[in-house]
Structure 1
Amino acid sequence: MSLQSASPSSLALRLKTETAPLHEKLDKLVMSLKPFDNRENYGRFVAAQYLFQRDIEPLYDDSAYAALIPDLATRPRLAAAQADLRDLGQAVPEAAEAPQGQGMALPEGLGWLYVSEGSKLGAAFLLKEAGQRLGLDENFGARNLAAPSDGRGAAWKRFVQALDGSGLSAGEQDRVVAGAGAAFERFAVLLARSYDLKGEPSLA
C-alpha cells in the first residue's frame, strides 16, 4: 500500500502531502554529501542515522506507542546502525544531549516514527548503492538500510494502518505533522554535524 492509495481522510496521506517539501530537500541534502563516494563518507551518514535512531529509541519502550503499533518492538534500527559503524571501523558518536524522544508526547512522537519508518522505503535505493559502490550489504555495513523481515511494503502498510486507525483528534493530528517536520529538520542537523558543514541547515 502506498500513501497515494490511502483514503482522503488518511493521516498518513496528510503527512506525506504536508511534509513533501521537507522530504525532498532532505533527500537532496543527503545526495549532495555523496555518501557513496567512499566508505568514510558513508560512515558519516551512518553516524547521523545512529544519532537519529538514538533520538527515537525511547519511543519504542513506551507502552502508549506500543498500544497503537503492535509490532513496534520489531522496528528499531539503533543496534543496526551501531553494528554498521563497528563494521566500518568508525567510532560510535557521543551525543551531548538527551535523546529527543525522551518524554515526548504521543502525537509528536508518531510524527518522528513516521519519518523513520518512511525512510525504510527509500533505503532500498540506498542499500543498492551501498552494495554496488561500496561492497556493503544487510549483513555488513548496511544493516541500517535493510528491509524488514517481511518486506518494506508489508511493514509500511501495517504502520500506515496503525496511523490511520489511531483515532486522533484534528488537533492531535496537527501535532503529528509538526512532529514529522521537526524530525526531518533534526536529521538535517545531524547530517550537517556529521559532515562538518558550516552552520546547521534548515529545510524550511
Structure 2
Amino acid sequence: MLAFDSPDATRSQRLKAATRDSHGALDARIMAGDIFASRDHFARFLRVQYRFHRDVDALYASTALDALLPDLAERRRLNQVTQDLQDLEQTLPAALSAPLPSDLPLAAALGWLYVAEGSNLGGTVLYKMAAKLGLDADFGARHLAAHPDGAARHWRAFTAALDSVALTAEQEQQVIDAADAAFRSVHGHVEQEFGR
C-alpha cells in the first residue's frame, strides 16, 4: 500500500496526510457540538457552513480555476446553505472576516477548494443523520445532499483534476498550508457558534 507521504503519492493523498490533525480536530469539535440534538443545534452548524462557503464562494467564479477543475461553478454550495438557513427561519450570520478574493494565488485557492470539496464528501454521512430532524434535500439539508452522480464519484473527479495541476515544490507546500488554514478557519467558525 502506498504511504501518503511517499514521493509517488498523489497531491490529494499528501494533502490528506498533511492535514490529518487539523481535519480530525475540526471533526471532533463539530461532533462535540451535538449538531443533531435539535434543529437549533443544527442551525448553528448551518451558520458555520454559511460562513465558510461565503469565505470561498468567489473561488468558484474564477475562470482560471474553472479551466483547471471540472464543473467548478456548479460545485458552489453557498446558495444551498442559504436556503437551508431560511428553511429553519434563521437570519444569515454576519461576516467575521473578508471573503477570499477570486484572484487568490493558485496554490492557496487549490488548498481552500480541497477542504470545501472534501466537506461535500463528508456531508453525505451528516445528511443521513439530519433525517432524524426531518431535514432532507428539499428542506434544511440541501447542501449536504450527495451530487446526482454520487458523492464519491464527484470527489474523485475533483481530486483527479487537483492532482493533475502542475505546481512547483514551493507551491505544493502552499497548497498544504492553505488547506490547513481552511480547516483552522472553519474551526474558528465552530468556536464562534458552539463555544458560547
Taking structure 2 as the reference length, the TM-score comes to: 0.93
Equivalent residues of 1:12, 1:160 under 8 A apart = yes
* Counterpart in the other structure of 1:149: 148
- What CA deviation, in whole Å up to 9, does each residue of 1:49-106 have, x standing for no partner? 0010000011011112111113101100100000000000111112143203454211
The answer to whether structure 1 residue 85 and structure 2 residue 85 are counterparts is yes
SS at match of 1:121: helix
Note the aligned Cα RMSD (angstroms).
Answer: 1.8
Q: Report % sequence identity.
A: 41
* Counterpart in the other structure of 1:27: 27
Equivalent residues of 1:101, 1:109 under 8 A apart = no
* Counterpart in the other structure of 2:62: 62
In structure 2, how many angstroms separate the alpha carbons of the residues matched to 1:57 and 1:120? 14
* Counterpart in the other structure of 2:53: 53
* Counterpart in the other structure of 1:201: none
Which letter maps to 1:115?
V
Return 5+ residue gaps in structure 1 as ranges: 199-204
Deviates more, 1:81-90 or 1:99-108: 99-108
* Counterpart in the other structure of 1:13: 13
C-alpha change, 1:193 and 1:115, in structure 2 (3 Å) is: same
Structure 1 residue 144: deviation in Å? 1.2
- What CA deviation, in whole Å up to 9, does each residue of 1:104-159 have, x standing for no partner? 2110111011001111121111111100x201001100011111121101111111
Which letter maps to 2:89?
G
In structure 2, how many angstroms separate the alpha carbons of the residues matched to 1:194 and 1:102? 27
- Give the total of aligned pairs: 193
SS at match of 2:67: helix
Structure 1 residue 15: deviation in Å? 0.2
* Counterpart in the other structure of 1:37: 37
In structure 2, how many angstroms separate the alpha carbons of the residues matched to 1:101 and 1:24? 27
Taking structure 1 as the reference length, the TM-score comes to: 0.90
Equivalent residues of 1:87, 1:140 under 8 A apart = yes
In structure 2, how many angstroms separate the alpha carbons of the residues matched to 1:118 and 1:184? 11
The answer to whether structure 1 residue 72 and structure 2 residue 72 are counterparts is yes
C-alpha change, 1:184 and 1:88, in structure 2 (3 Å) is: same
In structure 2, how many angstroms separate the alpha carbons of the residues matched to 1:154 and 1:62? 23
